[in-house]
A and B are shown apart, each in its own frame.
Chain A
Amino acid sequence: MALDEFTRSHWYAIGRLEDVPDGGSRSTRLLGHDVVAERRAEALSIRLKADGAPLKAQERYGHVWTTLHDDPRPLYDIPEFEEKGRRLVTAGCVSVRCSGLRAVENFLDLAHFPFVHAGILGVEEQATVEQYEVEPDRNEDELWATSCKFYQPRAAATAESGQVTHYKYRVPHPFSTILYKTCPIRDDAWDLIGLFIQPVEEDLSDVHSFVLVFDEDNSDTDLLHFQQTIFLQDRFILENQVPRLLPLVPGSETPTRADASSIAYRRWLRKKGLTYGALPAIRAA
């Protein structure tokens, strides 16, 4: 499948800031192209390995970002990164043999909590997903799922007992997603957990994740272990999904009401003309 304009027009995280230290470099692969990021005298530069062509570069949200596009759409804002008192833990890159779209869709799914994250994010006795709302923002540049709630025995590294956790999900980018969940220690704030997915190939993804939370008890390493435990549980499920690409053909998989965010996500991708990492809605004859 050729690289569609919507996919090509975005910025992608290709590593943590620490992965490209001064004097160092990181070789990786983005959308089927080998790229090299390096830093000399504090200056970050990124280029295509094949012909050395320079690529745009920026550093945000604890990560190094690049794009294959000459005139990319702006990288989305995450205002919470500016808030005082939050702690950022970047969990490093984990490779998964699936389309990055599959990883976003799984992240949006509440129904898997009691089974994939049993004893942490859900319990089998309370597996019902209550109705929630999903809609695009005004310009249809983003998708939001709101008023989600779920009983969780250990919702976060700080949680010592079970609680009904409230969630919001944001999809500001076809290969990025952020969840906002009840902060166990602050009533007026949400904790953020997000995935910045680097599509290596259509069916192979490097997933960068972060935790941006209010937490006074856990060490960064405790938060890291919690996040990696959850994501590696997801990885096991993602690698067993067939096909590895995300089907955008309506009716190719059978959703239930709990899958409203998945339905909306797939519809949004179709509308944007995305084909990379997807089984297309309309196949060329």
Chain B
Amino acid sequence: MKLYDYVLSGNCYKIRLLVRFLEIECEIVAVDFYPGREHKSAAFLGINPLGQIPVLEDDGLVIRDAQAILLYLANKYDGHGRWWPSGDPRLVGEVTMWLVFADRITATSSAARMHDVLGYDLDVGAARAGARSVFRVLEDHLTDREFGGHEWIAGPAPTIADIACFPYTALAHDGGIDLSPWPAIRRWLRRFTNLPGFFTMPGIDHIRR
């Protein structure tokens, strides 16, 4: 198994997290995303015509899109069905809903970060405003979950929905977005960083309790 990876990508990081949580082996292929834009090179477009990372190769299968890769890995390698609780239709619906939601976090919070850290030319005000409205939805959800006695986005234990939403939420400050208005989000981030096997990436506060 091979992961086309960039160290500063939250979407690649979420794949590396699940690989660690599942204790599986995966070869890392370093991609010069910045400054070299290797993901837009002809050679890489042959691997992913969308010109995006991460991409996973396994047994001749090539999968792109971080959430799709999470689903594939959890289905194939999580014998306990812990990270993808496929036997429970209700949970399948909830986890999938939040997997899709993760792309909204990427489209806003990650965009603001690309502007602030790597100088990407985009409307950072719109990206930050979008991120705040996305985080408000996540905050309300996590607050409701806590009232119900739950610690994770869906179900009784962390799932790939938590992994999918974690990186670009935890990296929000890189894009100039202050998480202090969202206490339930901050408690959830802290719980996540204390999961067994958790490791950090640059820009994520990893002080553990």
Contact = CB atoms under 8 A, between A and B. Distances in A.
Given A225-B7, A228-B7, A95 B32 contact: no
B119 interface: yes
A232 B204 CA distance: 10
A175 B7 CA distance: 26
A224 interface: yes
A232 B30 contact: no
A37 B38 CA distance: 23
Contacts of A225: 6-7, 30
B173 interface: yes
A125 B128 CA distance: 40
Interface of B: 6-8, 30-32, 34-36, 38, 116-119, 173-174, 176, 202-205
Contacts of B205: 236
Q: Is the interface of A mostly helix, strand, loop or mixed?
A: helix
A37 to B, nearest CB: 14
A117 B134 CA distance: 32
Most buried by A among B7, B8, B202: B202
Contact of B118 (A16, A95, A219): A95
A221 B117 CA distance: 19
B119 A233 contact: no
Given A206-B119, A228-B202, 7 more contacts: A92-B34, A221-B30, A221-B36, A224-B30, A233-B203, A235-B202, A236-B203
B203 A220 contact: no
A18 interface: yes
A28 to B, nearest CB: 8
B35 A19 contact: yes
A90 interface: yes
A95 B36 CA distance: 17
